[in-house]
Structure formats: structure tokens, C-alpha cells
Amino acid sequence: MKINIKRENIVCYETNLENRTLLEVLNEIKTTQDASLAYSSGCRSGVCGSCGVRVNGKEVLACSYHVQEGDFAEPLNNASVIRDLVVDMDRAYSFNAKAKAWQSSIVDDVLLSHEDEKLGEVQSSCILCGSCYSACPVYAINGDFLGPFSLTRVWRYVSDKREQNKKEKIDNIQTNGIWDCTLCNACTLVCPQGISSKADIEKLRARSALFGYMDPNFASFGFGGGFDGSPVF
């Protein structure tokens, strides 16, 4: 079976493995043919988030994708390539800190019901694989956009009863945050964990409205200016 991998040039490798995951094929290439091939992996079972790559233009986890004849594998988009299929995740990860995606204080003895738990179940299953940042067209042009996984993470904490300062969390994601998203849904389509950051962003918008925020795009359309009367360009 042949597979093409984007390195400095596109390189075609051939192995006799059939019906295997991309990670197994990469391991075979690395250990028997070309030790210089670089990629990341860890758990082999879809939970550590190390092995996000793009195959035929779509984000997948190498350990969860079965290779097809002639597949084309390349590194994730919207991140600098360190080498071959390895990208630098530091920048994307830094948005979790910028978005203050954590519980603002330590709280004891909050009673959570089974239903409360379910509210954030999907969101807290994020594995930080970065697929959503790779697929996001807004992040592609605005490097300061907080981006899908960090906003999903903010929603995880905002939707949790243990969060004592929801307002602060909401205040913090107004700029380069929820209003910049175009709700295109690209992030949702590639998420291996079935998370819809788009839907979480919509929930965060609704929550923002409760705290008195309005969609700045809508505001500028409607009134031809900002709230303070100054013109918006």
C-alpha cells in the first residue's frame, strides 16, 4: 500500500500493511525504512491528543484513522511546522491561559446532580488534539482569536455550578473571542470527541447577553456606530 507524506517535499512510502491505522503505518516506516520521519504519538487509543494530522485535507487522529491506498498525510494547519508532521502547539495551547479556562477559585461542598454533571460531560472530554484550530477559518486569519477549544473549555467551566465568578469568565472572552467566530461549524466536523465548539460559542453568546453584552457586529450594523456613539469602521 502506498502513502504520501508531506515533508520538505512530498514523499511516497510503500508498506505491505493492510487495514492498519495511520499511526501503525508511520511506525512501520520509521522503524524499518526511514528513521528520519518525524511525527507525534502517545496513547495509540485516541485519548492523549498527540497524533492530530490531516489526511486528504481533513483533520484526523493518526491512531484512529485506517489508511487507504494513496492517502496524502500532512501536518495540521494554522500552526508552525516543526518538522514533517509535527507542529508547534504552544501557541494554540496558550489560549487556554488567555481565556482563563479554569475554575476561578477552589470551592468545597457544592452539590452537583447527575444532570449537572451531564452539562459539561462532552466539553470536558476534549483531548487538546488541535484539530479544531487547524480547521478554523477565523483563526487562520486572526492569530489572536481565542479559538474553538479554549472557548469550549471556558464553557465547560461557566456551565459548572462550582464556578463562582461567571461574569469574569464572560468578560474575558469578548475581545477576539465569541463574537469573532462565524459559526461556520468547521471545528465541529473535525472533532474526534464529538464536541461542537460552535454550539458552545453560541451558548457563551447567550450567556453574554444575560450579562448585558451585545453582538458588536450586529450593533454596528444596526446603529452605524458603537454604543458610545463613535463611528465603527
Partner 1 sequence: MNRVIVIGAGGAGLVAALSAHENGAKVTVITKEYPTRSQTSMAQGGINAVLSDEGSDSVETHIQNTLKSANGLSDEKAVTFMCKEAPNAIKWLDSIGVPFSRNSESKIAQRKLGGAYAPRACYAQDYTGLKILHTLYDRCLEAGIEILNERYLLEFITNKDNNSKNFVCGVSVLNKRSGEVEVYEANSVIAATGGYSRVYHDYSTNSLSTTGDGVASANRAGAKLSDMEFIQFHPTALKNSSILISESARGAGGYLLNSKGERFVNELLPRDEVARAIYDEMAKGHDIFLDIRHLGAEFIENELPQEAKLAKLYENIDPSVELIPIKPAAHYTMGGIEVDEYSSTSISGLFAVGECANHRVHGANRLGGNSLLELVVFGKQAGKSAAIYADSFDKRADLSGQKKSFEDKITKIKEFSSEINFYEKQRELGELFYKNLGIKREKTAMRTLLNEVKEMKAALPKMGVSDKTKEYNTNLIEFLEFKNILELSELILISAISRQESRGAHFRVDFPLLDNKKFQAHTIIDRDGAVSYED
Scored b (16 or more CB within 10 A) or e, 185-204 reads ebbbebbbbebbbbbbbebb
Hey, what's the torsion of the CAs at 122, 139, 143, 90, to 10 degrees? 40
Least distance between ligand SF4 and beta carbon 7 (Å): 24
Scanning 3-11, 36-44, 94-102, 156-164 for contacts with ligand FES by CB under 6 A, the matching segment is 36-44
Scanning 23-31, 130-138, 168-176, 216-224 for contacts with ligand SF4 by CB under 6 A, the matching segment is 130-138
Residue 55 vs residues 52, 60, 63, 89, 95: alpha-carbon distances, Å: 10, 7, 12, 19, 26
Question: How many residues comprise the chain?
Answer: 233
123 binds ligand FES per the rule CB under 6 A: no
Scanning 44-52, 166-174, 205-213, 214-222 for contacts with partner 1 by CB under 8 A, the matching segment is 44-52
User: In the set 14, 19, 229, 230, which binds partner 1 (CB under 8 A)?
Assistant: 19
**Binders of ligand FES in range 43-82 (CB under 6 A):** 43-44, 46-51, 61-63
Query: Up-side HSE of residue 70: CA atoms within 13 Å toward CB?
Result: 0
Residues forming the site for ligand FES (CB under 6 A): 41-44, 46-51, 61-63
Residues forming the site for ligand SF4 (CB under 6 A): 126-132, 135-138, 148-149, 152, 181-187, 190-193, 195, 197-198, 201
